[in-house]
Each structure stands twice: as structure tokens, then as C-alpha cells.
Amino acid sequence: MLLFRWIVMLLLFVAALCFAFYAGTGQARYKRLGFIVLKWTIIAASVFFAVLILERGF
């Protein structure tokens, strides 16, 4: 549980760093990489919350 939180926070930090590099350099590859990392972070967080909901039961 704690490990997953750290992974999600690290991924969010990496996405923010990519967007900061894009803002600083204007290179589109950093924006594209930031969106890819952000997409997978949202997917991982969704799976995490789905597991929590299923674990608790309906």
C-alpha cells in the first residue's frame, strides 16, 4: 500500500518534470512523454482504487 503510493507520487512528479521541461525548451517530445506518464499514472491509480473498492465489498 505504501509502496504503491510512493510509485504514484513519483510518476506524478516525473510527469510534472516533463511538462516543466516542455515549458522550458518548447520541445514537443517532453509534452508527449508527460502525457504518456500521466496516462499510465491515472490507469494505475484507477486499478488501485478498484482493488480497494472490491476488497471492501459492495
Asked if residue 6 has pLDDT above 80, the reply is: yes
Residues 29-50 pLDDT 10s: 999 999 999 999 999 889 888 9
Cell 504514484 found at = 8
Amino acid letter, 13: F
Contact residues for 33 (Cβ-Cβ < 8 A; gap 6+): 18
pLDDT for the residue numbered 58: 65
d(CA 27, CA 36): 15
